[in-house]
C-alpha cells in the first residue's frame, strides 16, 4: 500500500481502514487529501485483499470538518467548477464502490465531511458527532454532492432547512432523520462497524455489489431502476455463488461463497 501524507491506511482481516489524518485542522479536506482519497480508494477497489472499506477521522473531535477553508477562499469563477466536479468524482467513486464502504463518524462531520460520510453506503456515528452543511455561512453551497445526497437521505424539507440555515444537528437528530444508521458510544464505534461488515462479508460479494448498483440507480436520472434490477438479477443468476447459496440452503448447511 502506498504511503500518503494525510490519509492513513491499515488492513485487518480484509477490511481496509482509511483514516483522514490532519488533526491540526480537524481533518479538513485540502486538495492533497482529496487526491489521496482518490488514490487510496482506487487502489482498494482493485486490490483483491480488500473486501470492505471503513472511512474515519483521526483524533477524538472530528471525522472531517469540511473542505479546507484556507484553500477554498482562493476559489473563483475560473477554478471553482473544476474543484466541485473533482470532489464529486472522488465521492462518486466511493458511492459506486462494489465493495461495502462504511463511514465511522467519530466527531464533527461538516461540509465536505458530511458529504464524505453521505457518499459511503452506511454511516455509524458516535454520540458526540455533529452533522451539518455550513457552507452558506461562508457564502457558498456544498460542492461535493451534499445538496443531492442530503436530500436523498433526509428528504426535501429537512435538507432545505439544514442547507439554508447551515445549522448543525446532533448524532441523535441525524439518526432520527435517517442521516445515519446507528449512534453508539465512542468505544463501540469500530465494533459496531465491524459487526455490520461481518454480516455483509458473509454474503455473496457479487450479489452485494449488485445491490449497491441497484440502490444507486434509484437516484440516477439516466437509469431505469427496475431495468437495472432485472439485469443485475440476471447477472447474479449466472454466478457460481448463486448455485452455492441455493444448494447450501437446500442441504441445510452454511454457504461458502467464492465471489465467482
Ligand atoms: N478548514 C480549515 N481549518 C479548519 C477547518 C476547516 N474546515 N475546521 C477547523 N479548522 C481548524 C481551525 O481553524 C483551528 O485551527 P487553529 O488551531 O490553527 O486556529 C483548528 O482547526 C481547530 O478548530 P476550532 O474552530 O478552534 O475548534 P472548535 O472546537 O472551536 O470548533 C468546529 C470546531 C468544527 C465547529 C469549527 O472548527 C468549524 O466550524 N469549522 C469549520 C466548519 C465548516 O465551515 N466547514 C465547511 C467548510 S466548506
Q: Which ligand 1 atom is at minimum distance from the Cα of 110?
A: 45
User: 259 pLDDT band (50/70/90 cuts)?
Assistant: very high
Cβ(35)–Cβ(6) below 8 Å: no
Q: Which pLDDT belongs to residue 45?
A: 98
Long-range Cβ pairs for the range 91-94 (8 Å, 24+): 91/115, 91/116, 91/119, 91/144, 91/145, 92/119, 92/145, 93/38, 93/41, 93/42, 93/45, 94/37, 94/41, 94/55, 94/119, 94/120
Taking residues 117-145, report their average pLDDT.
98
Tens of pLDDT, residues 180-239: 999 999 999 999 999 999 999 999 999 999 999 999 999 999 999 999 999 999 999 999
Q: Whose CA is nearest to atom 13 of ligand 1?
A: 25
Mark whether 240 is an active-site residue.
no
Residue 86 three-state SS: helix
Kindly tell me if the per-residue pLDDT of 15 is higher than 80.
yes
Taking residues 4-25, report their average pLDDT.
97
Mark whether 161 is an active-site residue.
no
Taking residues 27-37, report their average pLDDT.
98
Q: Which pLDDT belongs to residue 1?
A: 74
User: 2 pLDDT band (50/70/90 cuts)?
Assistant: confident
Q: Which ligand 1 atom is at minimum distance from the Cα of 134?
A: 44
Rounded distance, CA 50 to CA 30, Å? 26
Strand (E) positions, the chain?
A: 7-12, 15-20, 52-57, 62-64, 101-105, 108-110, 122-126, 130-132, 169-170, 182-184
Q: Which three cell numbers stand for residue 212?
A: 449497491
- Considering 5, 89, 95, 115, which one is annotated as catalytic? 115
Q: Judge if the beta carbon of residue 234 lies within 6 A of ligand 1.
A: no
- Considering 35, 135, 161, 260, which one is annotated as catalytic? 135
Rounded distance, CA 66 to CA 143, Å? 11
Rounded to the nearest whole angstrom, what is the distance from the C-alpha of residue 24 to the centroid of ligand 1?
A: 9
Mean pLDDT estimate for the chain: 98
Rounded distance, CA 118 to CA 148, Å? 10
Q: Judge if the beta carbon of residue 66 lies within 6 A of ligand 1.
A: yes
Q: Whose CA is nearest to atom 19 of ligand 1?
A: 25
User: 168 pLDDT band (50/70/90 cuts)?
Assistant: very high
Q: Whose CA is nearest to atom 36 of ligand 1?
A: 65
CA dihedral (113, 115, 116, 117) in degrees, to 10, reads 90
Q: Judge if the beta carbon of residue 68 lies within 6 A of ligand 1.
A: yes
The contacts of residue 247 (CB under 8 Å, 6+ apart) are 255
pTM for the full predicted model: 0.98
Q: Judge if the beta carbon of residue 26 lies within 6 A of ligand 1.
A: yes
Rounded distance, CA 105 to CA 163, Å? 20
**DSSP structural state of residue 98:** S
Which residue of 34, 65, 166 sits with most ligand 1 atoms within 8 Å of its CB, as the best mutation to test the pocket? 65
Q: Which pLDDT belongs to residue 74?
A: 96
User: 85 pLDDT band (50/70/90 cuts)?
Assistant: very high
Percent pLDDT > 70 in the chain is: 100
Q: If you search the block for the grid coordinates 448498483, which residue do you land on?
A: 213
Q: Judge if the beta carbon of residue 20 lies within 6 A of ligand 1.
A: no
Q: Whose CA is nearest to atom 34 of ligand 1?
A: 65
Q: Which three cell numbers stand for residue 11?
A: 488492513
Rounded distance, CA 84 to CA 67, Å? 11
Q: Whose CA is nearest to atom 6 of ligand 1?
A: 68
Of 64, 70, 103, 71, residue with least CA distance to 86 = 71
Amino acid at each position: 500500500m502506498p504511503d500518503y501524507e494525510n490519509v492513513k491506511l491499515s488492513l485487518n482481516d480484509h477490511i481496509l481502514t482509511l483514516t483522514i489524518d490532519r488533526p491540526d485542522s480537524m481533518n479538513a479536506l485540502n486538495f492533497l487529501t482529496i487526491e489521496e482519497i482518490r488514490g487510496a480508494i482506487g487502489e482498494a477497489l482493485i486490490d483483491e485483499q480488500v473486501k470492505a472499506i471503513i472511512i474515519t477521522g483521526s483524533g477524538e473531535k472530528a471525522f472531517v470538518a469540511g473542505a479546507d477553508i484556507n484553500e477554498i477562499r482562493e476559489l473563483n469563477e475560473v477554478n471553482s467548477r473544476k474543484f466541485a466536479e473533482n470532489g464529486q468524482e472522488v465521492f462518486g467513486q466511493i458511492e459506486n464502490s462494489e465493495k461495502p464502504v462504511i463511514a465511522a463518524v467519530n466527531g464533527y462531520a461538516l461540509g465536505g465531511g458530511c458529504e464524505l460520510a453521505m457518499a459511503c453506503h452506511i454511516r455509524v456515528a458516535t454520540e458526540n458527532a455533529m452533522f451539518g452543511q455550513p457552507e452558506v455561512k461562508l457564502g457558498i453551497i456544498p460542492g461535493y454532492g451534499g445538496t443531492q445526497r442530503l436530500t436523498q437521505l433526509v428528504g426535501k424539507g429537512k435538507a432545505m432547512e439544514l442547507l439554508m440555515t447551515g445549522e448543525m444537528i446532533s448524532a441523535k437528530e441525524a439518526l432520527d432523520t435517517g442521516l445515519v444508521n446507528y449512534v453508539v458510544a465512542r468505544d463501540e464505534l469500530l465494533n459496531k462497524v465491524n459487526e455490520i461488515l461481518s454480516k455483509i462479508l458473509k454474503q455473496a460479494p457479487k450479489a452485494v455489489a449488485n445491490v449497491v448498483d441497484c440502490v444507486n440507480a434509484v437516484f440516477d436520472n439516466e437509469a431505469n431502476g427496475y431495468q437495472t434490477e432485472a439485469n443485475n438479477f440476471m447477472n447474479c443468476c449466472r454466478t457460481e455463488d448463486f448455485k452455492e447459496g441455493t444448494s447450501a440452503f437446500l442441504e441445510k448447511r452454511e454457504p461458502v461463497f467464492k465471489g465467482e
